Chains A and B, each alone.
Chain A
Amino acid sequence: GQNIDQPTEMTATEGAIVQINCTYQTSGFNGLFWYQQHAGEAPTFLSYNVLDGLEEKGRFSSFLSRSKGYSYLLLKELQMKDSASYLCAYMDSNYQLIWGAGTKLIIKP
C-alpha cells in the first residue's frame, strides 16, 4: 500500500518556529519532497531530500532519515503568508510520487 502520514493540522505563532513531521513506509525510495499549497492553488515545490541529513533553504529546512522513514519540514521566523497546506510526498521505485494528505498550517498573530 501507500503508507505516508503527516498531521492534519498545526497551529503556530507569527515569528515562531514550527516543525511538520512526515513518516512513510516503502520498499522502493527515490527521494522525499515537500510542497506548499495555498488554498485554491496548485502545489509549489519547496524541497527535495534523497540523502540523509538536513537541507537548508532560507527560512525553510527539510530533514530526512531513510532508515527511520522519517522527514520533517522546519519553518523559521513564521510569517502570516506561510499559512498553507504542506504536502510531503515520496517517490517510489517507479519514480511515481506518493502523496501525504497534507498538513494545514495556521499562523496566528
Chain B
Amino acid sequence: GAVVSQHPSRVICKSGTSVKIECRSLDFQATTMFWYRQFPKQSLMLMATSNEGSKATYEQGVEKDKFLINHASLTLSTLTVTSAHPEDSSFYICSANPGLALETQYFGPGTRLLVL
C-alpha cells in the first residue's frame, strides 16, 4: 500500500524558533497533500491544501505567514511553523492523495510539536 512518511516524529523547541516538518510520499507521486493539526482529544483540523508547483490553499483562520507550506516536488511537501509559540504545540499530520482516486488519502504518522 501507499506509504507516507513524516520527519521529525517529535520535536521540542524554544519559543520564537522556526520548525520545519517534512511530508514525503514514498512509493507514489502526490499531486495534492494536506496538512492537519490535531489538539488533544479533538478531531483533525485541516490547515491547508498543498498542490505541487502552486501556492497552498489555506483554511480560514490559518495564518499563511506563520505556517509556510512548500510543495516543491510530487513527493515532498514541507510545513514550517515560523516563530513558534507554546500555543502552536500540537500534533501535525500530513496526508497525500496519489490522484488516482479522489477519495483516497494516505496519512503520515504525524509530528508532535512541543514549544517551550
Contact = CB atoms under 8 A, between A and B. Distances in A.
B44 A99 contact: yes
A68 B88 CA distance: 38
A101 B93 contact: no
Interface residues of B, number: 18
B43 interface: yes
B34, B93, B107: residue with the most chain A Cβ atoms closer than 10 Å: B107
Interface string B20-60: 00000000000000100000001111100100000000000
Contact of B43 (A50, A96, A102): A102
Given A42-B93, A48-B103, A50-B103, A97 B46 contact: yes
Interface of A: 30-31, 33, 40-45, 48, 50, 87, 91, 95-97, 99-102
Interface of B: 34, 42-46, 49, 91, 93, 102-103, 105-110, 112
